Amino acid sequence: MKPIFLSAAFIFMGVAASAQGVEQGRKNAPQFRPAWPTQTRAPAQDSGIEFKVDVLAEGLETPWGVEVLPEGGYLVTERTGALRMVRDGTVSEPITGVPDVLAEGQGGLLDVALAPDFARSRVIYLSYAKPMGGGRSSTAAARAVLSPDATTLSDVSDIFVQQPPSRNAMHFGSRVVPQDGYVFITTGEHFTEQDRQLAQDVGTTYGKVVRVLPRGGAAAGNPFDNEVWTLGHRNVQGADIHPTTGALWTLEHGPRGGDELNVLEKGANYGWPVVSYGVNYSGSPVGSGDARASDFTEPRYYWDPVIAPGDFAFYNGKMFPGWQGDIIASSLTPGGLVRLRLKGDRAVAEERFFPGEIRARDVEIDRDGAILLLDNSDGRLLRLTRQ
Ligand SMILES: [Ca+2]
Ligand SMILES: [Ca+2]
Q: Which domains does the chain have, with CATH numbers?
A: 56-326 (2.120.10.30)
- Check: CB of residue 121 under 8 Å from CB of residue 115: yes
Please give the distance, rounded to the nearest whole angstrom, from the Cα atom of residue 322 to the centre of ligand 1: 30
CA 306 to chain centroid, in Å, comes to 14
Q: Which ligand is nearest to the CA of 261?
A: 1
pLDDT band at 4; cut points 50, 70, 90: low
Name residues whose C-beta falls within 8 Å of residue 341's C-beta, 6 or more positions apart in sequence.
42, 45, 326, 347, 348, 349, 350, 351
Task: Please give the DSSP secondary-structure letter assigned to residue 369.
Answer: S
CA 341 to chain centroid, in Å, comes to 18
Residue with the larger pLDDT of the pair 370 and 17: 370
Active site residues: 171
Task: Please give the DSSP secondary-structure letter assigned to residue 298.
Answer: P
Q: Which ligand is nearest to the CA of 112?
A: 2
pLDDT at 194 over 80: yes
255 prior amide bond cis, ω within 30: no
Instruction: Give the CA distances from residue 50 to residues 5, 175, 329, in Å, rounded to whole numbers and listed in that order.
Output: 11, 29, 17
Strand 259-263 and strand 248-252: pairing? Answer: antiparallel
Q: Reduce the DSSP state of residue 120 to 3 states and report it.
A: helix
Predicted pLDDT of residue 7: 53
Q: Which ligand is nearest to the CA of 231?
A: 1
pLDDT at 62 over 50: yes
pLDDT at 11 over 70: no
Please give the distance, rounded to the nearest whole angstrom, from the Cα atom of residue 338 to the centre of ligand 2: 14
Please give the distance, rounded to the nearest whole angstrom, from the Cα atom of residue 294 to the centre of ligand 2: 32
Q: In what order do the strands lie in the sheet with 336-343?
A: 309-314, 327-331, 336-343, 346-353
Please give the distance, rounded to the nearest whole angstrom, from the Cα atom of residue 158 to the centre of ligand 1: 29
Predicted pLDDT of residue 139: 98
How crowded is the C-beta side of 152, counted as CA atoms within 13 Å?
4
The whole-chain average pLDDT of the chain stands at 95
Give 118-124's long-range contacts (Cβ < 8 A, gap of 24+): 118/70, 119/70, 121/145, 122/146, 122/147, 122/148, 123/214, 124/67, 124/75, 124/153
Q: Which ligand is nearest to the CA of 372?
A: 2
Please give the distance, rounded to the nearest whole angstrom, from the Cα atom of residue 270 to the centre of ligand 1: 4
Please give the distance, rounded to the nearest whole angstrom, from the Cα atom of residue 317 to the centre of ligand 2: 15
Strand 83-87 and strand 90-91: pairing? Answer: antiparallel
Region of residue 379 (phi > 0: left; psi between -120 and 50: alpha; otherwise: beta) = left
Q: Which ligand is nearest to the CA of 253?
A: 1
pLDDT digit string (tens) for 76-123? 999 999 999 999 999 999 999 999 999 999 999 999 999 999 999 999
The whole-model pTM stands at 0.95
Please give the distance, rounded to the nearest whole angstrom, from the Cα atom of residue 343 to the centre of ligand 2: 22
Q: Which ligand is nearest to the CA of 200?
A: 1
pLDDT digit string (tens) for 352-367? 999 999 999 999 999 9
Please give the distance, rounded to the nearest whole angstrom, from the Cα atom of residue 64 to the centre of ligand 2: 9
Please give the distance, rounded to the nearest whole angstrom, from the Cα atom of residue 97 to the centre of ligand 1: 37
Rounded distance between C-alpha atoms, residue 252 and residue 73, angstroms? 28
Q: Which residues are found with C-beta within 5 Å of the ion, ligand 1? A: 270-271
Please give the distance, rounded to the nearest whole angstrom, from the Cα atom of residue 67 to the centre of ligand 2: 7
Q: Reduce the DSSP state of residue 37 to 3 states and report it.
A: helix
Phi, then psi, of 106 in degrees rounded to 5:
-95, 5
- Please list the helix, strand and coil fractions of the chain in percent, rounded to the nearest 5, in that order: 5, 40, 55
pLDDT band at 9; cut points 50, 70, 90: very low
Q: What DSSP letter does each residue of 336-355 carry, written as one string?
A: EEEEEEEETTEEEEEEEEST
Please give the distance, rounded to the nearest whole angstrom, from the Cα atom of residue 238 to the centre of ligand 2: 7
Q: What DSSP letter does each residue of 198-242 carry, written as one string?
A: GGG-TTS-TT-EEEE-TTSSBPTT-TTSSSEEEB--SBEEEEEE-
